[in-house]
Amino acid sequence: MNEPEPVHTVDLFLVERRQLIDLLESLSESDWALPTVCAGWSVKDVALHVLGDDMGVLSRKRDGHSSATERLDSWEELVAFLNDWNERWVGAARRISVPLLIELLRFTGDDMHQYFASLDLHEMGGPVSWAGPARAPVWLDVAREYTERWLHQQQIRNAVKRPGGKEPELFAPVLATFVHALPQTFRDVDSPEGTHVKLTIAGESGGEWSVVREAKGWGLYVDVTSEPHASVLIDQERAWRLFTKGIDKMESDAKVKGDHALGERLLDTVSIIA
């Protein structure tokens, strides 16, 4: 039984952003106005949101800039705050032209990569909220930022019906990052020590992970040899959609064996702030 290897994503930011820019430059005027899965947001709105996320990371984390925010005492308050913040940003940024938006995304993409490449990825940083309240290694925070940009590109691709970004070198790190939400998903499940729930994500970008009950709580592992008390099988396409609330567990077509309550709990995993 071993802890998962760190998910290395720094150099993937350049690849992801290059693909995004190529996609955006190919869109027609009508494509930019198409609706996305993000309620009330068009393709352009999602691209503006990515720009806002980039600017927020660079300002807050690289430059140490802080903007006054109210104290947030619960997950629900955090979600509501960020939803409002994002809506206000996108509403104000709609005045940005498409050519300027693409130019800015190219600029912030390069700066994001340079910033992440400068970090000690194995230092401990702040929490990754959906993975739990404890401090997390910097590589996990960077991987989270990568998954967010990959996800938004998928939302745009789905809206304009231009598939892409599913090469294993881009997709596998997304799934390997998302599963770090599993211990947080089980945090309130009071099972006996040694309880083992196994997740198998089928597909060339998938893999096998286990969440195991220990004295200190639940932990994420690979190569667990004990028989699982519950096992869940889901294909890679449904997995990323499930973990980002693009589908619910009734639509996931997941196969649960063993303790169904434990298996169903795993299907409640959310790997975004939502």
Tell me: the pLDDT tens digits for 55-100? 999 999 999 998 756 666 676 777 787 778 888 999 999 999 999 9
**Would strands 196-202 and 217-221 be described as parallel, antiparallel, or unpaired?**
unpaired
Helix (H, G, I), strand (E, B) or coil at 183: helix
99 lies in the same domain as 138: yes
Lowest mean pLDDT: which of 2-6, 217-221, 249-253? 249-253
Residue 7 belongs to a domain? no
147 lies in the same domain as 212: no
The single-letter DSSP state of residue 246 is: S
Q: Which range marks the domain in which residue 148 is found?
A: 12-165
Residue 170 belongs to a domain? no
151 lies in the same domain as 197: no
The single-letter DSSP state of residue 192 is: P
- CATH number (domain holding residue 256): 3.30.1050.10
**Would strands 230-235 and 196-202 be described as parallel, antiparallel, or unpaired?**
parallel
Task: Report how many domains make up the chain.
Answer: 2
123 lies in the same domain as 16: yes
211 lies in the same domain as 75: no
- Give the pTM: 0.95
* Residues 242 and 255 sit within 8 Å (Cβ to Cβ): no
Q: Which two tokens stand for residue 162?
A: 């231009």
Share above pLDDT 70 across residues of the chain, in percent, rounded to a whole number: 97
End-to-end CA distance of the chain: 31
From residue 195, alpha-carbon distances to 208, 212, 223, 226, 269 in Å are 16, 6, 15, 9, 18
The set of residues, in sequence order, having a beta carbon less than 8 Å from that of 213 and lying 6+ positions away, is 186, 189, 191, 192, 193, 194, 195, 196
CA 145/CA 173 separation, integer angstroms: 12
Query: Which pLDDT belongs to residue 68?
Result: 59
Per-residue pLDDT of 226-260, as tens digits, reads 999 999 999 999 999 999 999 999 999 999 999 99
256 lies in the same domain as 159: no
Side chain identity, residue 226: S
Among candidates 75, 97, 95, which has minimal Cα distance to 24? 97
157 lies in the same domain as 77: yes
Among candidates 45, 150, 42, 59, which has minimal Cα distance to 89? 45
161 lies in the same domain as 186: no
